[in-house]
Amino acid sequence: MGISDLLGAMIQSGMAPSSNQRLQNAFGEKGGLLESLSGMFGKERGGGLGDIFSGAPGGGGGGLGGMLGGVLNQAGKAAGGKQNLALGGLGALAGALLGGGGKSLGGALGGGVMALLGAMAFKALQGSGKSTGQVPIGLLEPRTEADRRELEQHAELVLKAMINAAKSDGQIDEKEIQRIAGKLQEVGADAEDQRYILTQMKKPMDTGELISAARGRPELSVEIYAASLMAIEVDTPAEKDYLQDLASGLQLAPEVTRHIEQMVGLPPV
């Protein structure tokens, strides 16, 4: 498996009880954009996914789903057309959240996570007046080998951010490690992939690595923060302190983090 596949596998493993619900919140309620994307995944691109985001300004989803539709409309314009956005990955992720995911979707799910995080970063920076005008790499469909390598590098940072956040209220206990290892095996991770994840889980926290990698890259900084929210419940003082320290180290303004917390349905940290 590549890193994107491992990220997809970790999402399928469910790092925290609220992980899937927070992902669903970022899409919008069932019956809206989430189900529309799920239904379109695997169909012809022409007249398919792209049409969901044309027409109504809100994108047809309502609530935060409408927010995502609007973001994709704007990002599509900035990227030179919606065909340049990673809509297929979003569809795969939507399908998995509604119960349609399988082993073969690991890489597509990882790409969908990166696309969703990219859309959230685009909106949060825009909504807080911090936009650079750039479309995050995860939201763009990779066209070249260089694009794919860059996406994998970003995916690895997101994966490490999720695992690092999970350590914020103490080391990940052995029971949780074995649970995640079992889930990884279920979705097709081989022994080498499992060793990589288990090694990352057993390492000491290294928030400094994440902060250094994201320095001067506001879109990536927001993605790291958003991914961290997906990995923990944020129901202990240690987790709340960690997120505040992470946001400070990433130099994220309070209005940016508030936007992200609202998207995933989390009360202000």
Contacts (Cβ under 8 Å, ≥6 apart) of 16: 166, 230, 231, 232, 233
Written as six digits, the tokens of 154 are 């970003």
Residue 42, phi then psi, degrees to nearest 5: 95, -10
The full set of domain ranges for the chain reads 3-263
pLDDT value at position 204? 93
Question: Taking 50 as the threshold, does the pLDDT of residue 26 lie above it?
Answer: yes
Considering only residues 4 and 225, tell me which one the structure prediction assigns the higher pLDDT.
225
pLDDT value at position 183? 80
pLDDT value at position 218? 95
Contacts (Cβ under 8 Å, ≥6 apart) of 62: 28, 29, 32, 33
pTM: 0.87
3-state SS assignment for residue 85: strand
Mean pLDDT of the chain: 82
HEC secondary structure over 242-258:
HHHHHHHHCCCCHHHHH
Report the share of the chain in percent with pLDDT over 90: 45
pLDDT value at position 32? 53
Q: What is the mean pLDDT of residues 140-145?
A: 94
- Burial label for 49, CB within 10 Å (0-12, 13-18, 19+), is buried
Question: Taking 70 as the threshold, does the pLDDT of residue 106 lie above it?
Answer: no
Question: What type of residue sits at position 215?
Answer: R
Q: What is the mean pLDDT of residues 213-236?
A: 95
Q: Give the Cα separation of 156 and 213 in Å (integer).
A: 11
Question: Taking 50 as the threshold, does the pLDDT of residue 61 lie above it?
Answer: no
Question: Taking 60 as the threshold, does the pLDDT of residue 152 lie above it?
Answer: yes
Q: Give the Cα separation of 219 and 128 in Å (integer).
A: 13
pLDDT band, very low/low/confident/very high, at 35 (cuts 50, 70, 90): low
Considering only residues 52 and 12, tell me which one the structure prediction assigns the higher pLDDT.
12
Q: Give the Cα separation of 260 and 226 in Å (integer).
A: 6
